Amino acid sequence: MRTLKYISVILGIFVCAASLYAVDVETVLQKRDQASQLPPSDSVILYHGTTFTIHEDGRMDRQEHLLRYLRNLNAWDEYCDPHLAFDSQWQELDVMISRVHTPDGRKVDTTPNGFNPIVPFGLDRAPDFTTMRQMVVTHLGVEHDVVTELKYTVSDTEPLYPWSWGEVLFGTHEPTLEREVIVKVPVGSVLALGWRKDALQYTKSERDGYQIATWRMMNLESIDLAETGSKAALFLPRVSFSTCPNMEELTNEMQKRFGDAAKTCCSFDKAIEDYAKISSPEVKLDSAITFIKNRIALKRFNHPTMLLKYRPTCRISNTGYGSVADLTVYYATVLKELGFEPKVYLSGIGHESVPGLAGNEHYAIHLTGLTNECWLDPTTGNISYGLPEGVTLLGIWPAQTPETIPPTKWEENSIRLDLEITFDAEGAAEGWVQVKSTGALAFFETAIEGGAGDLIDHFTNGFYVSPEVNNEILLQQQPDWVEGKADLSFDPVEEKIDGMIRIPLPWNITDFHGILPRGLVLHHVNRDVPVILDRIGYVEINLKFNYPAGIEPVLLPQVLNEKVDGISFDRKVETGAGFVRIEERAEFPQMLISAEGWELWRQVILSADRQTSRTILLPLN
């Protein structure tokens, strides 16, 4: 019957219920020529309007209205069969318009067989999650330069929580000519609002018994949100709203629901009883993680149900699968059964002061009572010994006031490599290396898992001919200070280049471990968003290579001294009788590299990273 309801919408039953705040579609369609003159892109959003209507009991209706200009075949593949997500257990979907506007003025509506509800991939074999749905809507009449129009509402039939909240970022990978967000609540209701960027046009009004807040922006450029360094929530214009009075009420409600689910399960495997007898907390924790990873399969889907609804531990155990919220419940219950005192948090970045969640938070479990306190990621079972600066923690079990991981001073976060090698006339060599890492850049996890050997290997593997490492030792092993040293020896190089040996500088400093975001693509020439670093700090390398007297290097690394946006890179090269000394230092005293400064900084990194810029050639016998 639900499917018939969706189809009947298209046949016209609900057309008369269109929003009183509807956009003039014909006026929007006239912007097609303007969109065609924009820089190349697969598509352009001519208009995107989102209206949130919040009811007194916490239910919310979210209406989306999109008119998108398709510029090439890639857009056909990407946008001609949108998948509209909802949870049929507590939500309904009404598709009001699914239409294609052709260049010659025809309007082609989707026919009833163009609406097909499916269970999202991966959830079809998880019965408890088969209430999750995606309505696949197929646009008909697609050809070059059409505009697709889609208007639909996802309505709560019952509230997920006693309040509603939401967040909208203004910016996407598509150019957008007009973006509008409307929030409506009954007159007299509590509504907390927050937004950033003066460019947002804000108006407020009352109509038909509702308070109405409206934000609008025009002519938004495309944003490369897939780029790892682009932490969108930190710099894009953003609107946040909530009917929750304060964060304490929200966390208390979440604590109650989490606690109701996290009850000891009678069907726990006997292995849990055996693990409880293990004396070492570290071994006990590792055993529990292995047990859970092998027993409970993670089911992923981007929907509030998967983040904020908690199934009971027994149900999770019996079914053998769970959402990220469920995995967190299961880990917390097992760890408490084993004698730990787990604290469960939701972590996020760039939160406003409005009570609520952005929807992109991650669960983290804090554990003490071990040699070193740590954080457990319940989605992977991975352990870390710190969280990124700027992350906001929302304590939900037990409930705690939100707190933000404070920033460190950049001078406190460092990686330093000191190395001296002496070569003989045949190319054999011996020497020493010492590595020191401090603050947020400390290689603590490496030291814990692999000791001094892994720490030294990280910096020397592949250098010259990979060395034989001897007498390795950890001088310091603390969460904010890891230091180790070792002796190195090298066999003679068998292959020479015209009688010369090639010595690449050890450990590529331009990887900037822990500073540059992982996955940052250095070959992206232009950026429209800044790079926000994972850490601030500095990296330093001090090298000395000794060789027989009378030998002169044929090639030496390039001297560099560059500074962009307050971030600097410096390389010094000194030669003397029988030696060459190289010093490199990169300083990152601030978190942000501007989009404008990125091209200069990119060139600095690539220049410093060039093979000829990092190579010594010595003519040995």
Q: Please report, for the chain, the start and end positions of each structural domain, with discontinuous segments joined by +.
A: 2-244, 248-404, 410-619
Q: Is the pLDDT of residue 431 over 60?
A: yes
In the prediction, which pLDDT does 611 show? 67
DSSP string for 365-430: EEE-SSSS-EEEETTTTEEES---TTEEEEEEETEEEEEEPPPPPGGG-EEEEEEEEEE-TTS-EE
In the prediction, which pLDDT does 11 show? 36
In the prediction, which pLDDT does 198 show? 65
- Our CA angle for 485, 490, 493, nearest 5°, is 150
Sign of CA dihedral 444, 446, 447, 453: negative
**Secondary structure letter of residue 35 according to DSSP:** H
Phi, psi of 313 (to 5 degrees): -55, -45
Average pLDDT of the residues of the chain: 88
Buried b (16+ CB within 10 A) or exposed e, 302-318: ebebbbbbbbbbbbbbe
Mean pLDDT of 228-254: 84
Q: Are 435 and 456 in contact (CB under 8 A)?
A: yes
Q: Are 172 and 238 in contact (CB under 8 A)?
A: no
Neighbouring CB atoms inside 10 A of 232's CB total 19
Q: Is the pLDDT of residue 546 over 90?
A: yes
**CATH number, domain 410-619:** 2.60.120.1130
In the prediction, which pLDDT does 128 show? 97
In the prediction, which pLDDT does 517 show? 76
Q: Are 231 and 350 in contact (CB under 8 A)?
A: yes
Query: What is the β-pairing status of strands 414-423 and 537-546?
Result: parallel
Least confident interval from 178-192, 253-267, 275-289, 589-603: 589-603
Q: Is the pLDDT of residue 2 over 70?
A: no
Strand partners, 514: none
Q: Is the pLDDT of residue 12 over 50?
A: no
Q: Is the pLDDT of residue 18 over 60?
A: no
DSSP string for 254-288: HHHHHHHH----TT--HHHHHHHT-S-HHHHHHHH
Mean pLDDT of 378-384: 94
d(CA 437, CA 251): 37
Please give the structure tokens belonging to residue 339.
Answer: 């004698």
Please give the structure tokens belonging to residue 441.
Answer: 């850049």
Please give the structure tokens belonging to residue 509.
Answer: 């400093």
In the prediction, which pLDDT does 17 show? 36
- Who's near 219: CB < 8 A, 6+ residues apart? 176, 177
- Who's near 90: CB < 8 A, 6+ residues apart? 156, 157, 158, 160, 305
Torsion angle of the four alpha carbons 494, 496, 501, 506, in this order, in degrees rounded to the nearest 10: -70
3-state secondary structure at position 61: strand
Q: What is the pLDDT of residues 108-159, one digit of tens each?
A: 999 999 999 999 999 999 999 999 999 999 999 999 999 999 999 999 999 9
d(CA 392, CA 405): 6
**CATH number, domain 248-404:** 3.10.620.30
d(CA 81, CA 139): 6
Which burial class, exposed, middle or buried, applies to 47 when counting CB atoms under 10 A from its CB (0-12, 13-18, 19+)? buried
- Who's near 431: CB < 8 A, 6+ residues apart? 419, 420, 421, 422, 487, 488
Least confident interval from 32-46, 95-109, 381-395: 381-395
**CATH number, domain 2-244:** 2.60.40.3140
DSSP string for 201-239: EEEEEEETTEEEEEEEEEEEPP--TTSTT--GGGTS-EE
Sign of CA dihedral 496, 501, 506, 507: negative
Please give the structure tokens belonging to residue 91.
Answer: 């939500």
pLDDT class for 609, splitting at 50, 70, 90?
confident
Q: Are 46 and 35 in contact (CB under 8 A)?
A: yes
Q: Are 98 and 146 in contact (CB under 8 A)?
A: no
What residue type is 411 in one-letter code? E
Which is more confident, 520 or 430? 430
Residue percentage of the chain with pLDDT more than 70: 92
Please give the structure tokens belonging to residue 170.
Answer: 């203004």
Q: Is the pLDDT of residue 5 over 80?
A: no
In the prediction, which pLDDT does 227 show? 63
Q: Is the pLDDT of residue 508 over 70?
A: no
What residue type is 65 in one-letter code? H
- Who's near 19: CB < 8 A, 6+ residues apart? 51, 63, 65
In the prediction, which pLDDT does 501 show? 85
Mean pLDDT of 543-560: 90
Which burial class, exposed, middle or buried, applies to 64 when counting CB atoms under 10 A from its CB (0-12, 13-18, 19+)? middle
Q: Is the pLDDT of residue 1 over 50?
A: no
Q: Are 482 and 443 in contact (CB under 8 A)?
A: yes
- Who's near 37: CB < 8 A, 6+ residues apart? none
In the prediction, which pLDDT does 509 show? 60
